Amino acid sequence: MTWLRDAIDQWRSGTQQSQLVALAALLVGVLVSFVVSMLAYDWFPLSGFFLWLLAGTLLLRFGPLVVLAAATSAAAVTARLTVAEDAGSRGAGLVILVVFVALALYVSSRQRSGLPTPLSEALLADLRDRLNAQGRVPDLPEGWLCETAMVAAHGVGYAGDFMVADLDEEQQLLDLVLVDVVGKGVKAAPSALLLAGAIGGMVGALRGPRLFEAANAFLLRQHSAETFATAVHVSVELTSGRYTVLSAGHPPALRWHPGADGVGAWSVDSARGTALGILDDPGLEAAHGVLEPGHALLFYTDGVVEERGGDIDDGIHWLQETAARVFSRGAAGAARRIVLQVPRGDDDRAVLLLSRAAG
């Protein structure tokens, strides 16, 4: 079946040649169906031709689909009219055919990518997978654990929240960036993909304020009043635990302090700054510290702590209490458990947890 796999790969390329091959195959199918319908209409009635039109909407671009629709309609109408049936019955079937063809052509013409629907979906899925791959944290040294959990608004597969991770194995320096692009779900996804590519290419090469300054300049060049984002960047020396946190309009990070009696608490970090893509100078104020054994850092997007008409301080207080209960039961899986307890689903939600095991 090598030839079949080659044909599928050729079609996935979306080239004009692959479209012509697909069109030719469908036209052959229409021709064979027409011959069968003319010889024995009951074996292949008018409704059977709808299958070729449906296959065309899945496999062809708009131009080739017009050719297929014309050929299929001509074959179906000819076969139908040659059958001696009640004229009203013939008319009803032909009207349905015309409506179906019109809908198929309209849907195909609205494909802004210029590709058939399955190829457009595959392209979006590949972009989403690449976005998620940038946030995959490399294997960390023993004693370190980093977990992420993200849920898109309303359960769709695309969101404006994303993470970028980079590990310099030689220097044992870990960089994590959590970004929240303005908007929710699918609406924010294009801007998120664009910014993720830019930050993904800069992280590791640029650190500290330089990374956010470059990202800020990138967003300003988009010349859009709706293209801005909040972000938080933490750079950690894994050998010593020393870290630096930069926040650009992002909700404040939380730090876990284990208590002497075994009951710990999350305190609010002091890093501050303006969201990226608004001002030439985001005014970043870094926070520094040392992540000792047993300590942890928690980063999150506003969808975790904000709700319409609510106070963000109340949301942060809720998160401190909720994360304390969750983290006290163990760091493994804590990020996911925190996200699932958020009592809202109308905004993208993301949690990033970096912890260091107790000595």
pLDDT given at position 13:
58
**What digits encode the pLDDT tens for the residues 305-340?**
887 777 888 889 999 999 999 998 888 899 999 998
Distances (CA, A) of 239 to 236, 288, 357: 9, 16, 13
Enumerate domains of the chain plus CATH numbers: 2-115 (no CATH), 135-356 (3.60.40.10)
pTM summary value: 0.73
**Spatial CB neighbours of 293, under 8 Å, sequence gap ≥ 6:** 143, 241, 356, 357, 358, 359
Could you tell me which residues come within 8 angstroms of residue 192 by beta carbon, excluding any fewer than 6 positions away? 131, 158, 159, 160, 161, 162, 179, 181
> Is the per-residue pLDDT at 86 higher than 60?
no
Average pLDDT rounded to a whole number, residues 277-291: 90
Q: Which pLDDT tens digit goes with each residue over 89-127?
A: 566 777 888 888 888 888 777 776 666 666 666 666 666
Helix (H, G, I), strand (E, B) or coil at 329: coil
Calculate the CA dihedral of residues 12, 14, 17, 21 and round it to 10 degrees.
50
The residue among 233 and 82 whose pLDDT is bigger is 233
